[in-house]
Amino acid sequence: MEASLGPYVIRYRWPIIILTILSILVCVYGATQLRFTNDYRIFSGDKNPQLQAFDKFQDMYGKQDSILIAVASKSGDIFTAENLGAIQELTEKAWETPYSSRVDSLANYQHTQVTGDELLVQSLYEDKSELGPEKVKWIKDVIMAEPLLVGRLISDQGHVAAVNITMNLPEDSSGPEAESVYYARQIAAELEAEYPGLETYLSGQTVLNISFLEAAVYDSKTLIPIMFGLLIFMLAVVTRSFWGTVGTLLVVAFSVIFSFGVAGYLDILQSNTTGAVPIIVLTLGVADSIHLLVSFFHEWEKCGDKEKAINEALRINFQPIFLTSLTTIFGFASLNFSESPPMQDMGNMVALGVVAAFFYSIAFLPALLSLIPLKSHKASEQQEKIMDTLHYFARDYRHTLLGVFILVGVGLGLAIPSTSFNDLFAEYFGEEIEFRRDNDFIRENLTGVMALHYSVAGNGENGIFEPEYLSQLDALGEWFKTQDKVLHIDSIASTMKRLNRTMNEDDASYYRIPDSRPLASQYMLLYEMSLPFGLSLDNTLNSDRSATRLTVTMDNIHSEDAIALVERAHKWQLENAPALTMTDAVGPSIMFSHISKRNLISMLDGMVIALLAISVVILISLRSMKLGLLSLVPNTVPIVMTYGVWAVVVGELGMSGAFVSVIVLGVIVDDTVHFLSKYLRAKRELNMNSEEAMAYAFRTVGVALATTTIILVAGFSVLTLSAFSPNTALGSMSSIAFVIALLTTYFMLPPLLYLVDGRAEKTPNMDEFDDSESKAA
């Protein structure tokens, strides 16, 4: 019989409590050193090919981050003198946005016209005083006839316009981004106050980045208080002890502080993903304390001596708590195989929290229990009767239950391949976040935030002026317009056609590509020389004029559809536009489209290694090859069934869905470990046969398993209230897995044990359990 830590914990309880307090103080300081990042790029590792391609693209054409301020007319017509004047005022203020490099709007759109032999390039209007009825009508005609504007800076109905601010932010841009977005919201609010007939909405990549921070703040203010409230209620019900509840709350709170404190010293960047760490650690940390408290009160009620009860509770729970903590650490540590750094950070931080929860549970909690006044209470007879009923059901219908699990498991497993991968980053946020509400309005009324960027090269220096290149570039843009979900095309071909028409007395028949390279080159030279400061074509043409930027703006599009669109575009270009050399599509949209699938593939290695490591640990600790191998079944079936249920009910996997398997693996193993530990203890220490040991396992750990599962489901269900959709999916899938894991432990594991470990003829006598246990102790 193994020795207990109890005597040492009780003897050194004051040093343990003092060391615990000191460790927390040190960790509190470490937590103050944490840094938060809201850069969407962190979801792609440095070796991500889509991120590398996007960086190369931005080196050529400049950064693509922007703030878009949409202005909607309540009257339904933006083309009034007052509204156009408001846009002109907003444009002027937008130039003062911190870290801005360019502003595009209807007010500074560079209209081209010829006067004599001179090409004039100038804004449509510069002051609202010049906006008479005829001028307004002329402005509307020009704008609504320009493909580069409609669907980008003006809606096709003419009721919403936009001012787009291009940003040039530094690398570590959390502070500058917040400053820029704050200013943009301020001038938008001022516009609404001055012009009551207008409403403003903000979108763009820079606003999206800030929304990651806003979602994290929202979650911390709402989810953590909800989780603590749930924990207090459930612990009070389960432990029926004020001090037991307080002690457990201190354990989980200290575990969270330890996790964030060490993360601060290790300089682990915080993000929306790590924002889920407190909820996960709070939930997981409770399980250790629950098992210890349940055993403690059971032993105390039986022997009447609190210190002996602490000793025995530690003796019988140390190994299973250690094993479950270790397997949970393996599960979350395997997230380091992910290609997404935030998921690696979350896994490491949760693993740190689990380590802390283990030590605080087996040292601080018993030490605290030995000092505080407590009252023993009897175990609920009703709970024991329920566990006996579950045992009899699992025993009597074991063959049927195994058949049901096999049929359902195979059926759900076959449904998994039908799951599609989708990371729609524009919908990462709930309606609680302003960006989501504003972006939905802009998407429905003006343009989208999702875009594909291409660098399209011609034949060498100045090759973009070849008529063949321009014609095929124009044809490519027209092909994109025929594709589903495409809202707008930004191509230099449209500018070239407009210049050709302007230089030919605005004859509509000349709205086409110039006939010769010298002519196209001359037109572009005249146009560039006439552009004002800040509105050059450096964001569209590369330095030696060998390539141009092509941007395809899309409505919200599923990841697989975006990837399919990119593949179709390359195929069309190869077959129909041989003069063009296209790079791979780049941008946040295509990066996030690949994230889920790339991460799922990368996590397969992590899943296999975690499963093998956990199985070896269980096999060694149980000292039974047969039961160690048997444990693989109830540990993997819940994962397969969870993905199957998700495939049937939802049908899509996002970024977090790729990690659920390894996250829940380390947790659902806990049920198997605790059940098998009690089962083997009954056989080895109490000399019970298989059926008696089964009944003993149900009675001694069945209620605790149900309790911890309820807490796990409640805790992870809190994540479904998150304003960040990957956390919502993580909470939903994990909750499903935990429920299935409990059902598997209750109704699949016992039949399997009966099958491989034999069944005794004797029916267990429940009244003898306590006596047998006392003699063994």
Q: What is the pLDDT of residues 472-484, one digit of tens each?
A: 999 999 999 999 9
Q: How confident is the model over 132-143, as pLDDT tens digits?
A: 999 999 999 999
Q: Which pLDDT band holds residue 239 (cuts at 50, 70, 90)? A: confident
Predicted local confidence at residue 767, as pLDDT: 47
The residue length of the chain stands at 777
Q: Please list, in sequence order, all residues whose beta carbon lies within 8 angstroms of the beta carbon of residue 80, skipping any fewer than 6 positions away.
A: 73, 136
* Beta carbons within 8 Å of 557's beta carbon, 6+ residues apart: 424, 450, 485, 565, 589
What does the pLDDT read at residue 48? 84
Out of 212-226, 286-300, 375-389, 609-623, pick the least confident.
Answer: 375-389
Identify the band that residue 774 occupies on the pLDDT scale cut at 50, 70 and 90: very low
Backbone phi, psi, residue 361, to 5°? -70, -40
Largest CA distance in the chain: 112
Q: Would the pLDDT of 6 be above 90?
A: no
CA-CA distance, 74 to 719, in Å (whole number)? 38
- Residue 23 to residue 205: CA distance in whole angstroms: 41
pLDDT band at 216 (very low <50, low <70, confident <90, very high): confident
By C-alpha distance, which of 670, 666, 718 is closest to 231? 718
pLDDT given at position 761: 40
Using the predicted structure, report yes or no on whether residue 371 has a pLDDT greater than 60: yes
**Placement of tokens 């047998």 in the chain:** 772
pLDDT digits (tens, 9 = 90+) for 47-73: 888 888 998 998 999 887 899 999 999
- Section 203-215 average pLDDT: 88
Strand residues in 620-750 grouped as ranges (E): 652-653
Q: How far is CA 627 from the centre of its chain?
A: 37
**Does the pLDDT of residue 181 top 50, yes or no?**
yes
- Dihedral angle sign, alpha carbons of residues 689, 695, 698, 701: negative
Give 199's strand partners: 72
Sign of CA dihedral 438, 442, 445, 449: negative
Whole-number Å distance between alpha carbons of 84 and 135 = 11
Model-level pTM greater than 0.75? yes
Q: At what angle do helices 660-684 and 277-303 cross, to 10 degrees?
A: 10
Residues 6+ apart with CB under 8 A from 747: 393, 394, 401, 405
Q: What proportion of the chain, given as a percentage, has pLDDT over 90?
A: 46
pLDDT classification of 173: cutoffs 50, 70, 90: low
Parallel/antiparallel/unpaired status of strands 486-490 and 450-457: unpaired
Distance CA 465, CA 499 (A): 13
**Token pair listed for 540:** 């569209």
The packing angle between helices 49-61 and 588-622, to 10°, is 150
* AA identity, residue 121: V
Name the packing angle between helices 690-718 and 205-239 (round to 10°). Answer: 140
DSSP codes joined into one string, 394-448: HHHTHHHHHHHHHHHHHHHHHHGGGPEE---GGGSB-TTSHHHHHHHHHHHHT--
pLDDT digits (tens, 9 = 90+) for 375-432: 666 556 677 788 889 999 999 999 999 999 999 999 999 999 988 877 777 788 888 8
Higher pLDDT, 378 or 257: 257
User: For residues 179 and 1, which has the higher predicted lDDT (pLDDT)?
Assistant: 179
Higher pLDDT, 3 or 517: 517
Task: State the Cα–Cα distance between residues 144 and 156, nearest whole angstrom.
Answer: 7
- Asked if residue 204 has pLDDT above 50, the reply is yes
Q: Is the pLDDT of residue 772 over 50?
A: no
304 pLDDT more than 50: yes
Quick one: CA dihedral 367, 368, 372, 374, positive or negative? negative
> Cβ distance 547 to 455 under 8 Å?
yes
| Structure tokens that stand for 11 in this block | 């003897």
Strand, helix or coil for residue 543: coil
Q: Read off the tokens for 256.
A: 């969270």
What's the distance, CA 712 to chain centroid? 19
State the pLDDT confidence band at 373, using cuts at 50, 70 and 90: confident
| Tally of CB atoms within 10 A around 344 | 18
The residue among 558 and 86 whose pLDDT is bigger is: 86
Percentage of the chain beyond pLDDT 70 is 95
Residue 378's pLDDT is what? Answer: 59
Residue 285 contacts residue 354 (beta carbons within 8 Å): yes
Tokens 């191998």 -> residue: 629
The answer to whether residue 638 scores a pLDDT higher than 60 is yes
Query: Does residue 775 carry a pLDDT above 60?
Result: no
Q: For the chain, give the mean pLDDT.
A: 87
Task: Tell me the per-residue pLDDT of 461-513, one tens digit each, with 9 for 90 and over.
Answer: 999 999 999 999 999 999 999 999 999 999 999 999 999 999 998 898 999 99
User: Each residue of 572-630: pLDDT tens digit?
Assistant: 999 999 999 999 999 888 888 887 777 777 777 777 888 888 888 888 877 778 887 88
